[in-house]
Each structure stands twice: as structure tokens, then as C-alpha cells.
Amino acid sequence: MRAKLAGFVCLLLVIQPAPAQGPLLPKTLTPATIHDVMAPPFTFWGNPACDKDGNMYFHVGGSAVAEVLRLSADGSEGKIFKVAEDSPGAKGFVFQDFSVSPKGEVNILGGITGESTRIMVMHFHQDGSMDEPIYPQIPKSAFPTNVVTSDAGTVLLFGYYDDTAPRGLKKTSYLAILDSSGTPRQEVHAAVPGLDIAKLASGETPAPAATLGEDGNFYLPGSNEILVMLPDGELVRGIPFDNPEPKSMVGRLIVSGKLIIIVLDSYINRAGHADYLVLLNPSGGVVGYYQPSEELGGWRAMCYSPQQGLIFLKVDHKRLKLLTVPLR
């Protein structure tokens, strides 16, 4: 996976909050630069992730396989992070979620299912070497669906209590902050606004894509509000927002600098489509509502850079292309 690509054109973002009154009119996202990537097109599952240097990470290799691809910011190099078959805890390991810390360390959440499910987190360093598995010390009735990690090794787990939980906890959310050994620092008792836990548990609703901001705080999205937590689990604020397209759902958050980019997913006849609501952080003021141009089609943004804008990967005539799209 190597290619010599021209450098990105630097584009300045001028933040112009939308008027507080009246309908929120969409702006069109149009590519500013397009580069060919020599890597062949590939299939990935779930949401991508990015580190602070703009490297992109994808869950590849199948819906249950613990394999993550890192593609460099310019698309010229790739590296696979994979749980080796002879690794401790690898036999029968099933993938659930993954996250990337700002400096580029990968954590894969999964476990061994059967009569007794055993949850674990596989931690990879930037060079691809893997530590011993982390076994989160969480209640047996708690089933995590999401993992987010910081450079300090702090781990956020989000999920739900299953049918084996005590009365009152069944089908409610589970949210905890753990240290790097898997020991809980704080269990957070907060409902995610607009999330139906019963539908999450049955697989009808996707899990909210929590993320880590450059400020070191955790961000957990609901359908109309974003919860913000300190690294120790203290819930510091909620950021409410109005979804300009009620039929869409929050698929992912990108928190970069003073911006929160909400990726709004919608499906028409099984075809995926994403719009982007951009808010100021921490006020929640609206910067703009963006819809992709026809050239972007149904492709989704991978990352955001204040200098370049949104970064897209697109397959065009069986070639992989990297597009930079400013927020104007």
C-alpha cells in the first residue's frame, strides 16, 4: 500500500453560526482536492475511527473477525492490527467494537460467547504489538457494545444490562469508566437521551458511537442531546440539538477542536446516506447543516481536519480516492 500523493491544499474554516430562528437550510459539501490511493478497495464494518494525525482505522475482515486496518492520512501506507490465533484469549474471540486513542493505539472489544460470556479488551500499540488481554471487572449481567479509550489508558464501556440482571436493571444502560487494568473507576448512572435500550439489546437499534474529544472528555450521543463526561466519569453537561432530518439517526460523532460534527445516517431503499450537523463546542451553537454533493454520493466522512475539512474515501471506477471537503 504505497503511493506518492500530492500534499493537501490548506483550507481555512470560517465559522459562521446559523441564525437561531427559522428553518436550518442545508449547505452543499463539494470536494476541493481528490487523490488516487494505490490500495485496492476494501470492505469495512461499522464506524471508522481516526487518530490525531489523521490516520484512518477500519474494522475489516468480516463482521465477527478481530481485525483492524490502519490507512495513513495520505492513503499511501496500510497496517493490519489483528488478534493472533495463538494470543491469550484469542480462541473463540468474537469482535464487538474498536476504538483508537489520539496517539494511535487500538483497542478491540469482544469476548468469548457461550454458556458463560467472557468480555475482554485487546490492546495494541502503534507498532502492532499486543498486550495481555484486559478483562473488565464489570457485572456479569452487563453487556458492553462500545469501547472508547484515551492516551492515558482510561476506558469507557457502554452497553446494557441483559435479562440476567436484577429487577430494575434489566434492559437499562450500563456505562462505566475503567482504568487500564479493567478496574472500574466510576459507574455512571445516566440514560442516553432518546435511546431505546430494549431495541439496542435486540439489535434493532445501533449502539451510540461514543468518542473522545481533543479536550480529553468523552462524548456520548443520543437522538437529541450529547452527554459530555470527564475522564473520571463525572457528567459535566449535556449539549442539546435539533435534528434537521427527523427520519435520520445519529450514527457517529467527530469532535475536533471547537467543533462537534454529528453524522446523521438515513436509509432509503437500503441505500445509505449521511448528512452533517456541525455545532460549536461547548455552547452547542449551530455552525451549519451540510449535505453531500452528487460527486460524494453515499460515501461517509472518515475524519475532520481544521486545515482540510472533512476527509472522504470513495471508490470510483474500482479505484480508491481520497477527497478533502471544506466546511464553507
Matching residue, cell 487518530: 51
Inform me whether the pLDDT recorded for 17 exceeds 60: no
- Tell me the pTM: 0.88
Distance CA 176, CA 185 (A): 8
Say how many CA atoms lie within 13 Å of 59 toward its Cβ: 20
pLDDT at 10: 30
Q: Longest C-alpha distance within the chain, in Å?
A: 59
Please give the DSSP secondary-structure letter assigned to residue 29. Answer: E
Distance CA 314, CA 328 (A): 21
pLDDT at 236: 93
Is residue 63 exposed (0-12), middle (13-18) or buried (19+ Cβ within 10 Å)?
A: exposed
Three-state secondary-structure class, residue 65: coil
Q: Could you give the strand order of the β-sheet that contains 225-229, starting from the edge strand earlier in sequence?
A: 211-212, 218-221, 225-229, 235-240
Over residues 79-83, the mean pLDDT reads 92
pLDDT band of residue 205 (cuts 50, 70, 90) is confident
Pairing assessment for the beta strands 309-316 and 155-161 based on DSSP bridges:
unpaired
Distance CA 141, CA 203 (A): 17
pLDDT at 16: 42
pLDDT at 134: 92
Distance CA 323, CA 8 (A): 10
| Residue 231 near residue 216 (C-beta atoms within 8 A) | yes
Over residues 185-208, the mean pLDDT reads 90
Q: Could you give the strand order of the β-sheet that contains 142-149, starting from the edge strand earlier in sequence?
A: 142-149, 155-161, 173-178, 184-187
Pairing assessment for the beta strands 26-29 and 286-292 based on DSSP bridges:
parallel
Distance CA 328, CA 317 (A): 28
**What Å distances lie between residue 304 and 242, 260, 265, 308, 311, CA to CA?**
22, 10, 17, 7, 6
Matching residue, cell 483508537: 100
pLDDT at 22: 62
**What integer best gives the mean pLDDT of the chain?**
87
Over residues 280-303, the mean pLDDT reads 93
Domains of the chain by start residue, with CATH? 26-325 (2.120.10.30)
Q: Could you give the strand order of the β-sheet that contains 56-59, starting from the edge strand earlier in sequence?
A: 45-50, 56-59, 67-71, 78-82
Over residues 216-242, the mean pLDDT reads 94
**Given its phi and psi angles, is residue 241 left (phi above 0), alpha (psi -120 to 50 degrees) or beta?**
beta
Distance CA 121, CA 248 (A): 31
